[in-house]
């Protein structure tokens, strides 16, 4: 484990013992979601926090750049879990985090999303009788072949308080028998972050660097195990890219996992002249790409709600989604890897056939403020 030395962040101490929160991060979506949360915590008297980085993502492009750009304090500790199988990684994070908890016991453990870091640290919390708060609870794809689905279900069962992003998520939890008094509809932290940095995002010059024009290119993000860890499925992704890039350029910031699989499977995209196969981008440049594109191709859970908020059509290369509201919005379309389905949606998008745009009213940029206010009330912080 690597300890980080850092200057104390600005805190307002209340009389008596200041309550201590551990905020768990490990992957890119976690980094993005905690920026507004940290800001909201700093504004409240009597609350302290430590950022615990599990090391689940360890590539510099997936790690340091997000802390730098989003003005997030350096983690208090990096558990350096690294990359292993899901079970190995989950167990390793548990061992390392529990060791740290014995030295610095928090009053609350805050976990986000559905990654292995989320499950590992939630389990450490419940085993040590520490209050666990889960942000983005109740999301369900109803596909238990997805590691994320198993993580979501388990974390929701053991958590003391469940913060949901959508009404559908709350209904899912109630159907599963979880108590209503644990469930709080607060909104989506990623939208908070988007609203926080809109001005800086607008100033980015990444389009000039890549040589693409506003509303004249597509953005692709592909990293889900079912798509990239299967050679045949990754070939299907390339087939989809092939016919789309014949009509419109595709900017493809490739996740390190995806880059690795392309090499392992002997797949080459060099013959696709209109496909910009680039390294991962920082948060601000990536959001600029999303904001100014014609449409999005993705298998990401995080990108789908962002696409809806930005009013961008989205082709989701999955058979299901946990973001049901994104489908109801009229902007997100589930196609799987079926080329026929993708072609149909693609032609409609290029023809300007986009349905009405809708997203939950509670996606208003005040999610983190609600979370902190509820925590303060429910656990006497």
By annotation, the residues acting in catalysis are 223
Query: Whose structure tokens read 């101490």?
Result: 13
Strand 19-25 to 295-298 pairing? unpaired
CA distance 97 to 78: 10
Contacts of 174-180 with CB under 8 Å at 24 or more apart are: none
Structure tokens at 222: 């592909």
Contacts of 183 (CB under 8 A, 6+ apart): 137, 138, 162, 164, 170, 173, 174
CA distance 51 to 297: 32
Report how far apart the first and last C-alpha atoms of the chain are (Å, whole number): 29
Catalogue the E-assigned strands of the chain: 2-3, 19-25, 47-53, 77-78, 108-112, 131-137, 161-164, 183-185, 218-221, 250-253, 275-278, 295-298, 314-316, 332-334
Quickly list DSSP for 40-60.
Answer: HHHTSTTEEEEEEE--S--SG
Structure tokens at 239: 């087939």
Phi/psi at 48 (nearest 5 deg)?
A: -125, 160
Burial (CB count within 10 angstroms: exposed 0-12, middle 13-18, buried 19+), residue 242: middle
Nearest to 125 by CA among 46, 20, 17, 41: 20
CA distance 234 to 217: 21
Contacts of 201 (CB under 8 A, 6+ apart): 194, 284, 287, 288, 291
Q: Where are the alpha helices (DSSP H) in 78-228?
A: 86-103, 116-127, 147-158, 167-175, 189-196, 198-203, 206-210, 225-228
Bridge partner list, 52: 24, 77
């Amino acid at each position: 484990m690597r300890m980080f030395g850092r200057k104390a962040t600005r805190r307002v101490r209340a009389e008596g013992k200041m309550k201590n929160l551990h905020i768990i991060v490990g992957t890119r979506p976690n980094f993005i979601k905690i920026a507004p949360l940290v800001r909201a915590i700093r504004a409240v008297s009597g609350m302290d926090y430590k950022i615990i980085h599990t090391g689940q993502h360890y590539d510099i492009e997936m790690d340091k750049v997000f802390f730098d750009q989003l003005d997030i304090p350096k983690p208090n500790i990096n558990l350096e879990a690294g990359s292993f199988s899901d079970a190995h990684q989950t167990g390793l994070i548990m061992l390392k985090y529990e060791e740290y908890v014995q030295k610095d016991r928090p009053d609350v453990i805050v976990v986000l999303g559905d990654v292995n870091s989320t499950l590992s640290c939630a389990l450490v919390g419940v085993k040590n009788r520490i209050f666990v708060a889960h942000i983005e609870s109740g999301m369900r794809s109803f596909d238990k072949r997805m590691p994320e689905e198993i993580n979501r279900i388990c974390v929701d069962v053991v958590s003391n308080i469940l913060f949901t992003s959508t009404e559908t998520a709350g209904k899912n939890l109630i159907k599963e028998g979880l108590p209503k008094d644990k469930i709080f509809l607060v909104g989506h932290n990623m939208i908070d972050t988007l609203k926080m940095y809109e001005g800086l995002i607008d100033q980015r010059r990444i389009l000039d660097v890549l040589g693409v024009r506003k509303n004249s290119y597509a953005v692709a993000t592909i990293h889900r195990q079912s798509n990239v860890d299967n050679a045949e499925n990754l070939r299907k992704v390339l087939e989809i890219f092939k016919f789309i890039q014949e009509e419109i350029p595709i900017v493809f910031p490739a996740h390190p996992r995806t880059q690795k699989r392309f090499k392992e499977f002997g797949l080459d995209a060099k013959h696709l002249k209109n496909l910009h196969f680039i390294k991962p981008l920082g948060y601000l440049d990536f959001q600029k790409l999303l904001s100014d594109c014609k449409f999005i191709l993705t298998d990401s859970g995080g990108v789908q709600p962002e696409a809806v908020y930005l009013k961008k059509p989205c082709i989701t290369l999955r058979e299901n989604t946990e973001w049901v509201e994104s489908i109801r919005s009229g902007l997100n379309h589930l196609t799987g890897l079926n080329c026929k389905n993708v072609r149909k949606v693609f032609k409609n998008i290029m023809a300007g056939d986009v349905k009405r745009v809708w997203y939950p009213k509670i996606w208003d940029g005040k999610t983190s403020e609600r979370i902190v206010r509820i925590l303060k009330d429910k656990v006497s912080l």
